[in-house]
A and B are shown apart, each in its own frame.
Chain A
């Protein structure tokens, strides 16, 4: 596959397939997805609810076992690593969740919550742990002496997300998966957290996989963007280019659907494109064909492969817009 982001990507996902089995039926959550993320890059991953974004993130972290495919982190296939070797690799990869409040243990103090990854990683010296915790808490804009002894319920959603970010940074990871980190936050807080993530990325030299359903949010932080639909990748490309000239009809539909805060931009009457089909029985051929204005017979019979449509831009469509 010609999805080369850089000669030596930090993260490389190859033909990943993840399924769930529910009541004897198979949910095709992630189907044959390949991706690369260069060192120091932020790759945005967008798509509507249930398209498999979180599943992909969890499978990359080995929190969910893949049916097939590889997850190469710094050249090591995480899907085949076991025991201590996997634990060592995992230290370098961290996850931030959507719901900051729910992802913090309500009975533990902030200092202990943030120190937990250090304990698990076997950092025995309490002074060393305290020093690291104080450093990351300060980095995310919290005063360690004021917050360390307090409990999660004493903090707002935005502050809890800062705490989660601090916890994800305490082991000095190289790669962080942010799964909808600002979706639960109000607009005025969202901007603070997005700015913080950018600062942290620069300060700690991070590589990010940034998952969200909001295109404008994704664009604000991403170098490249990948668009997912019903378990498959539709399009990948440099952010500016992808939003200016989408090649995949689904990307175009997503862009068109965003409400613009400008009354002079009259919302275009949305195409009555219906709703996504069930991931239990995805459509044959192109999975987007039941909602696609350009679909024809070939779209029903042949799965479109990701193909180069412009410099660095790939689309999986038989009749791309460019």
Chain B
């Protein structure tokens, strides 16, 4: 996709650890078009957060990134720190799992919003203040004017996440990266925050990446999904196509292992045996092979590459993809 707003090309992130090199992201290609929503799904340690850090150019100091991160026509890996800082506040915004990562505990909500707005947009104090009030109202904060004088710790977790979203939206970004934005929140609050993100995304025609471990979160709210396992994207498809026909056994197993409300109590869950491989001890073959019930032949000795099935948009990395087995 050459017209993509963001394209990650052949990204590799290596982290030195006492146990040896840890390859957190292993040859990942991704693209997000303007105004589109991509969900990145995976379990803890699969590399999804490192990948988003690579896009934001916010990797830990000792991490080594190779590959390209093309955003809005520029390769972010070659930009100066100053240019990156400008870009991150302006057209590339982020919301973290813990809102306190992006909020300053010693500044009032108002100061943080107004400063961010004034740093990036040409608005005077009164205008920036007005804009802040509008933003807080837009993210569902009651009595927004009074909130300007409050500190983050005076708000509940859900309210803080709303403020963090307001800060992220304040400069009308082209791309918003939301890394587990609702994982720390209760379900009723989670639904409200996800709705809020979806609404603002559509209203602003903003592109969005939602990173989550929950297939349920991406199902109804993304255009495309990428599933990660052991640092790699193992399946990628338009959301409806993915849920209609999962081809990579890990994706299928992940969905099957999820407890579901329409299943009778005490039904044994189809669990995935074992656990993900040690990221400092990469496997020669398919990373999922020790846990995969379809593993056979070259699975243990050769790495499957992402390839397409009947449609070019549906990619999977597997030697024995699911439909092929059923049909043949």
Contacts and interface: CB of A to CB of B under 8 A. Distances in A.
Interface of A: 48-49, 156, 158, 186-192, 194-195, 198, 213-217, 219-223, 239-240, 243, 253-267, 269-270, 272-276
Given A191-B270, A192-B271, A263-B219, A240 B265 contact: yes
A269 B196 CA distance: 10
Interface string B249-269: 000011101111101111111
A261 B215 contact: yes
B122 interface: no
Given A188-B271, A189-B275, A273-B188, A259 B217 contact: yes
B275 A158 contact: yes
Contacts of B271: 188, 191-192, 194-195
A43 to B, nearest CB: 12
Given A188-B272, A219-B259, 15 more contacts: A48-B188, A156-B275, A188-B254, A188-B271, A191-B270, A192-B273, A217-B259, A222-B265, A257-B191, A258-B187, A260-B216, A261-B258, A263-B240, A267-B221, A275-B159
B4 interface: no
Contacts of B158: 275
Given A158-B275, A254-B187, A275-B158, A263 B220 contact: yes
Contacts, number: 140
A265 B187 contact: no
A191 B272 contact: yes
Nearest to A192: B271
Contact of A220 (B194, B213, B265): B265
B29 interface: no
Interface string B214-243: 111101110000000000000000011001
B257 A188 contact: yes
Contacts of A220: 259, 263, 265-267, 269
A219 B254 CA distance: 19
Nearest to B270: A191
Interface residues of B, number: 49
Contacts of B259: 190-191, 194, 214, 216-217, 219-220
Nearest to B291: A188
A44 B143 CA distance: 38
Contacts of A275: 156, 158-159, 189
B186 A48 contact: yes
Contacts of B97: none
Nearest to A273: B188
B144 interface: no
A259 B254 contact: no
A253 B188 contact: yes
Contacts of B159: 275
B13 to A, nearest CB: 20
A271 to B, nearest CB: 9
Q: Which of A198, A261, A274 has the most CB of B within 10 A?
A: A261
Nearest to A220: B259
A259 B188 CA distance: 10
B150 interface: no
5 contacts: A191-B269, A194-B271, A195-B271, A223-B265, A254-B187
A195 B271 CA distance: 8
